[in-house]
Structure 1
């Protein structure tokens, strides 16, 4: 896994600032000032992850994300307006892996990107490549894919990480703080609903079982129940 980042941001000053900082931190940066150019570059498979602003002059970042998700599992971090929870929720529903509110701290952005790259690289290690089965699910770490009844489940990179952690601890409670650290690579902060949105998306994609296969234990965390 290399450190190639596509930065899609129409604010020239902010894009230049972030690009310089990322470059100084060892990232190879490609830039796009609008959604159409960003989509073309992203689909050209010349980057490892995308930093995508929601507010773009031609097509919205959410529309770019929708088109990306129809064709690729490339990790995407959204840049959202501070305090706009609606954008964040819709972003996660469409398939974002993480988000950073604007104006963003370049240092935090780098930390988020590095954590995302580490999580992706971790499952590519040879010792983790053995497939494992949990009822109707089969995880294939070498492919970073999860199959349900033999069919691939369409997951984002972060959804895959969250589910793989829950599967590794199937039948046990995973504390929310631990799941946030292990799957997203950062600490859980007050009022952060990032993890809740990923769990909600996983439940929808795996089917609305009754009782749910991903159980919420209030005040504790989550537990994956293997369907019988």
Structure 2
């Protein structure tokens, strides 16, 4: 049975969606604590997320980025916001689809079915157990490990978040502000020094497995990762 994590702060809408989707044999978990969404996501380990934008404390865009820092789980935004810019922001922050309220339940179910089929079913590509790979450099998304050819290294949470961001945006400059936001969570304050330390540690771990000088400092802008492996070293 496929699991859906429903992040919606309107209890009536959440209840209606849960009841409707469970008729189609989905197991639906509704968020309980809006300041612990990432923890609940890890606990539920869903196949798909339905995510509202207007949420208590932090909006859906924030939580989408947080989830994307650790998982490729498909995310469908469901929101009363119907502007084109909101839909663009949803996709740019890592969403897979966008449904506006009020919605047709059959449309929601059809979109979920389509994504489930594409990601997990008959149309699925080989996801290689959640591996992000660029020319033999592999990031194991569930194990939080990185490998290159026959060398492998375990990453800390912050190192993993940073490396995934760099690999997702290869050859693009990521600002210090963007990276600090990726690292920050409710339990840990992150400052510039913390970011610098984690970048240094990540560079060292990449060097240990044979990846040299791939994460570059762009003075006054931030950092970027370039491909210095795969025969181009």
Q: TM-score, structure 2 length as denominator?
A: 0.54
Alignment of 1:19-30 (within 5 A): 19-30=18-29
Question: Contact 1:80–1:87 at 8 Å: present in 2 too?
Answer: no
Q: TM-score, structure 1 length as denominator?
A: 0.56
Q: Distance in 2 between matches of 1:123 and 1:79?
A: 26
Aligned partner (choices 138, 141, 149) of residue 135 of structure 2: 149
Question: Contact 2:117–2:123 at 8 Å: present in 1 too?
Answer: no
Q: Distance in 2 between matches of 1:207 and 1:8?
A: 33
Partner of 1:9: 8
Question: Contact 2:54–2:60 at 8 Å: present in 1 too?
Answer: yes
Pair 1:80–1:45, CA change in 2 (3 A): same
Partner of 2:180: none
**CA displacement at 1:5 relative to structure 2:** 0.6
Structure 1: gaps of 5 or more residues = 130-140, 156-203, 209-228
Partner of 2:40: 41
Alignment of 1:49-198 (within 5 A): 49-122=48-121, 141-143=127-129, 145=131, 147-152=133-138
Partner of 2:30: 31
**CA displacement at 1:67 relative to structure 2:** 0.6
Question: Contact 2:29–2:44 at 8 Å: present in 1 too?
Answer: no
What number of residue pairs does the alignment pair up?
Answer: 146
Q: The residue matched to 2:77 in structure 1 has which SS?
A: strand
**CA displacement at 1:154 relative to structure 2:** 11
Structure 2: gaps of 5 or more residues = 142-167, 173-233
Q: The residue matched to 2:35 in structure 1 has which SS?
A: helix
Q: The residue matched to 1:113 in structure 2 has which SS?
A: helix
In our comparison, the structure showing a higher alpha carbon Rg is 2
Question: Contact 1:4–1:28 at 8 Å: present in 2 too?
Answer: yes
Q: The residue matched to 2:106 in structure 1 has which SS?
A: helix
Question: Contact 2:5–2:44 at 8 Å: present in 1 too?
Answer: no
Partner of 1:138: none
Partner of 2:149: none
Question: Contact 2:131–2:138 at 8 Å: present in 1 too?
Answer: yes
Q: Distance in 2 between matches of 1:84 and 1:152?
A: 38
**CA displacement at 1:11 relative to structure 2:** 0.8
Q: Distance in 1 between matches of 2:21 and 2:4?
A: 8
**CA displacement at 1:80 relative to structure 2:** 2.4
**CA displacement at 1:145 relative to structure 2:** 4.6
Q: Distance in 1 between matches of 2:15 and 2:116?
A: 22
Q: Distance in 2 between matches of 1:106 and 1:33?
A: 23
Q: Distance in 2 between matches of 1:28 and 1:55?
A: 24
Question: Contact 1:39–1:64 at 8 Å: present in 2 too?
Answer: yes
